[in-house]
A = this chain, B = another copy of it.
């Protein structure tokens, strides 16, 4: 059986270059590409797991790496991806990676074996160097989370501006003692904290570092955060939670402590998940344009697959403040 090494030897290039040609990667010169393709034909090389002829070397499948489907954040994003994929004759597969590098490695075999045409990362565990390397060889798009130096197309929002808008909403309602739950090292979380600081600074409110609860996540994180904040001498009158699930955990715990939301403490979330409107009180939140993020990410992916996207744009879509029942002007 003819191997990729045989092709490489015959064409006088590296196996990686053959792989790049197979993946329609345009970093290979046209001359080399043509040469490799001719050798592939001459040797009748059958790329591993690829039962397609060389004229149409695609599976029309895009794999989406999700942190975990238990996070309602992803459903609308995937819906947007599916809309664009279906319009273009593509389909979408998903897998849970729980942002674990080992799990990512297993599913990366899908792109390496050409079982899918591209991979969209929504919450990568791999660092920017490895991702950038990967993106040289395969169609890769990042959705939501990214590091500054990653060389791959990105679709996201301006998290700093969004954090600023959330806190500014609380300030305009008269709040001065505003806490932050969920700040973290992940870029989006870090940038939301920058927005929090910017908004407070702008109106001359001094940052109270004990109001910033870091590295707690999801529903349980909201519960933990409120417990910490209520143990403070000077309790906050408003909470900015960096996800809706954190906000809901926070509200649940506040109610347990006989505090009313929004009358006693205002709470704003982030994401505008489905649950934000379902909850009681319904959540004031920052809407990420999740459907549009998914659509845009898939548009970039299909362009990249077809070789029509050679740059690595960072596209930031517009967020929106959604005012519902969990925030009210402060009562004094």
Contact with B along A63-77 (1 / 0, CB 8 A): 100001110101110
CB of A267 to closest CB in B, whole Å: 13
Comparing A93-101, A126-134, A137-145, A308-316, the segment that makes contact with chain B is A93-101
A49 to B274, CA, bound (A): 39
Within 8 A of B (CB), among A58-96: 63, 68-70, 72, 74-76, 78-79, 82, 91-96
Comparing A156-164, A184-192, A245-253, the segment that makes contact with chain B is A245-253
CB of A133 to closest CB in B, whole Å: 23
Beta-carbon nearest neighbor of A44 in chain B:
B1
Q: Are A91 and B107 in contact (CB under 8 A)?
A: yes
Copies in the complex: 2
Q: Is there a chain B Cβ closer than 8 Å to A203's Cβ?
A: no
CB of A65 to closest CB in B, whole Å: 11
Beta-carbon nearest neighbor of A275 in chain B:
B275
Q: Which of B51, B74, B249, B280 interacts with A50 by CB under 8 Å?
A: B51
A255 to B279, CA, bound (A): 12
Q: Is there a chain B Cβ closer than 8 Å to A318's Cβ?
A: no
- Inter-chain contacts of A94 with B (CB < 8 A): 69, 93-96
A280 to B252, CA, bound (A): 7
CB of A149 to closest CB in B, whole Å: 30
- Inter-chain contacts of A46 with B (CB < 8 A): 46, 51
Q: Are B278 and A280 in contact (CB under 8 A)?
A: no
Within 8 A of B (CB), among A247-292: 248-249, 251-252, 255, 274-275, 278-280
Q: Which of B69, B255, B274 interacts with A78 by CB under 8 Å?
A: B69
Q: Are B278 and A249 in contact (CB under 8 A)?
A: yes
- Inter-chain contacts of A252 with B (CB < 8 A): 278, 280
Q: Is there a chain B Cβ closer than 8 Å to A14's Cβ?
A: no
Q: Are B280 and A251 in contact (CB under 8 A)?
A: yes
Q: Is there a chain B Cβ closer than 8 Å to A115's Cβ?
A: yes
Q: Are B248 and A278 in contact (CB under 8 A)?
A: yes
- Inter-chain contacts of A50 with B (CB < 8 A): 49, 51
- Inter-chain contacts of A63 with B (CB < 8 A): 93
CB of A54 to closest CB in B, whole Å: 12
Q: Are A219 and B95 in contact (CB under 8 A)?
A: no
Beta-carbon nearest neighbor of A256 in chain B:
B280
Known: A93-B95, A249-B278. 9 other contacts (CB 8 A): A49-B115, A68-B75, A69-B75, A70-B76, A91-B106, A92-B95, A252-B278, A279-B279, A280-B280
Task: Kindly list the 9 A-B residue pairs having the minimum CB-CB distance in the complex, ordered from nearest.
Answer: A70-B75, A48-B51, A49-B51, A69-B69, A94-B94, A93-B93, A69-B75, A248-B278, A93-B95
